[in-house]
Amino acid sequence: MGRTRTFIAVEIDDEVRDRAVALQTDLSKTGAEVKWVEPDSMHVTLLFLGEVDDRELHSVCRAVTGVAAKVPAFALAVAGVGAFPTPRRPKVLWAGVTEGAEELRVLHGKLEERMLDLGCYRTEERGYTPHLTLGRVKGAADGEALAPELPKWMAWSGGRTAVTEVTVFSSELERDGPVYTVLARGPLRG
């Protein structure tokens, strides 16, 4: 039996995706080298489970659909730009979540509880910040080129998307980047 890199996320619609891609294009004009997230791979992660024993995957998927069924569908708005660890030293660039952030935190909490019960998740040190990853900055010099530009994007708006389900993905690391496969979809209530 093998192990599968697994994460739980919500997907965004094409309008938000298109605006995020346009934002990536604008940010790349700084000349900084960034490994941009492919449009098809854009999502808002709820929990990254890491390597899950293949025998556990069925239980994980069942638990996720169980949690999702009790949570009402909601709207999510993507806006503003930030970076981890800080906008002054950007290593990971992301778009923020404004509307829907509280619902995502609630969902994250409920899923985390179930995954801890199953024993296939360790609580992360840093708190959960809902975000849409845009890209990973190559080096320190690239971060320095981007840092002064980021405040200009505080008012950027990526639009709204309806969140109607929670998705369990597997992630395989290929040469060109990760390839995500849907393992299960858990529809939200209503």
- Write out pLDDT tens, residues 81-129: 999 999 999 999 999 999 999 999 999 999 999 999 998 888 777 789 9
Closest CA to 86 of 126, 45, 30: 126
> Quick check: 39 and 107 in contact, CB under 8 A?
no
Q: Which helix (H) or strand (E) holds 180?
A: strand 177-187
The pLDDT, as a whole number, for residue 36 is: 96
58 counts as catalytic: no
Query: Of all residues in the chain, what percent carry a pLDDT higher than 90?
Result: 89
Q: Is the pTM of this model over 0.85?
A: yes
> Quick check: 42 and 167 in contact, CB under 8 A?
no
The pLDDT, as a whole number, for residue 175 is: 84
| CB atoms near residue 31 (< 10 Å) | 8
The pLDDT, as a whole number, for residue 126 is: 77
> Quick check: 181 and 190 in contact, CB under 8 A?
no
| CB atoms near residue 48 (< 10 Å) | 13
Check whether 173 has a pLDDT greater than 90: no
> Quick check: 135 and 83 in contact, CB under 8 A?
no
131 counts as catalytic: yes
Give the pair of three-digit tokens for residue 38. Answer: 């492919």
Measured CA to CA, the distance from residue 140 to residue 26 in angstroms comes to 20
- Write out pLDDT tens, residues 23-82: 999 999 989 999 999 999 999 999 999 999 999 999 999 999 999 999 999 999 999 999
> Quick check: 64 and 186 in contact, CB under 8 A?
yes
Catalytic residue among 43, 110, 114, 160: 43
Fold topology of 3-187: Cyclic Phosphodiesterase; Chain: A, (3.90.1140)
Measured CA to CA, the distance from residue 190 to residue 185 in angstroms comes to 15
Average pLDDT value for the chain: 94
Pairing between β-strand 3-11 and β-strand 89-97 as defined by DSSP bridges: unpaired
Mean predicted confidence (pLDDT) in 119-147? 90
Catalytic residue among 131, 156, 168, 186: 131
Mean predicted confidence (pLDDT) in 15-21? 97
